[in-house]
C-alpha cells in the first residue's frame, strides 16, 4: 500500500475514534456536554398563552427561575438575562424562558408588568407561570436545579438548552462575566444541526 493511501486511512480512523470518544463521553463535536433532556411541560406566559416544550423545539433557549417580588438575586439575574435577550432579540432561533417559582402571586398580568420593566420582547422572552407542582417537577426532573421542597429558594443558574431540548450548560446568573461565555455557547449551538 502506498504511503498516501495509508495516510488517508489513518486519517479516517482518527476521525472515527474522535467521534466515538465524544459520543462515549456524552459530548457533541462542539465540546458542550449533553447534561440531560427537558421533559414535556405546559405553562402560561405573560400574555395568557400556553407555552409548552414543543413550542421551543428547533430553538436554542436559555432558562432561569425567578419571582417578581424577589429583591435579592432575581433583579440581578433578570438584568443579566436581559443582556442575553438584547444580543439575540432579533434572532428567531433563540428564546429566553423565565419560570416563576411563586406562581400563586405571579399571574400573567404580574409577569407582563415585570417583563415591561426590562423592555422584553415577550414573543421571544417567555415569562411563565403555572401550578406549583408543575414548577417543582420541572425544577427537579427537568433542569435538575433548585430546592424542590421550598422552590422560593430557587437556583441562581441559567440553563442553556439546544434545539433538541437537551441541557448543554449551566451558567451563574449572578455573574455578568458568565454572560459572555453563555452568548458564545449559544452561537455554537445555533451552528449545530
Top CATH class, 33-191: alpha beta
| pTM as predicted | 0.81
The mean pLDDT values, 10 residues at a time, for the chain of 193 residues are 60 51 47 92 96 96 94 90 95 96 95 96 96 90 72 78 96 92 96 79
DSSP the chain: --HHHHHHHHHHHHHHHHHHHHHHTTB-TTS-B--EEPPP-EEEETTS-EEEGGGGTT-EEEEEEE-TT--SHHHHHHHHHHHHHHHHTT-TTEEEEEEES-TTT--HHHHHHHHHHTT--TTTEEEEE--HHHHHHIIIIII--S-SS-TTS---EEEEE-TTSEEEEEEETT-HHHHHHHHHHHHHHHH--
Amino acid at each position: 500500500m502506498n504511503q498516501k493511501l495509508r495516510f488517508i486511512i489513518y486519517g479516517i480512523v482518527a476521525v472515527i475514534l474522535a467521534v466515538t470518544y465524544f459520543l462515549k463521553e456524552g459530548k457533541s463535536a462542539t465540546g458542550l456536554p449533553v447534561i440531560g433532556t427537558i421533559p414535556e411541560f405546559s405553562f402560561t406566559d405573560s400574555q395568557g398563552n400556553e407555552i409548552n416544550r414543543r413550542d421551543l423545539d428547533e430553538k436554542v433557549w436559555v432558562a432561569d427561575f425567578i419571582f417578581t417580588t424577589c429583591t435579592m438575586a432575581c433583579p440581578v439575574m433578570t438584568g443579566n438575562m436581559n443582556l442575553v435577550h438584547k444580543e439575540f432579540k432579533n434572532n428567531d432561533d433563540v428564546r429566553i424562558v423565565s419560570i416563576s417559582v411563586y406562581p400563586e402571586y405571579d399571574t400573567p398580568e404580574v409577569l407582563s408588568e415585570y417583563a415591561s420593566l426590562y423592555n422584553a420582547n415577550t414573543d421571544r422572552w417567555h415569562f411563565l407561570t403555572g401550578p406549583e407542582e408543575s414548577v417543582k417537577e420541572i425544577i427537579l426532573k427537568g433542569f435538575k436545579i433548585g430546592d424542590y421542597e421550598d422552590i422560593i429558594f430557587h437556583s441562581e443558574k441559567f440553563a442553556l438548552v439546544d434545539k433538541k431540548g437537551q441541557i448543554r450548560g449551566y451558567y451563574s446568573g449572578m455573574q455578568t462575566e458568565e454572560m459572555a461565555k453563555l452568548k458564545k455557547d449559544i452561537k455554537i449551538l445555533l451552528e449545530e444541526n
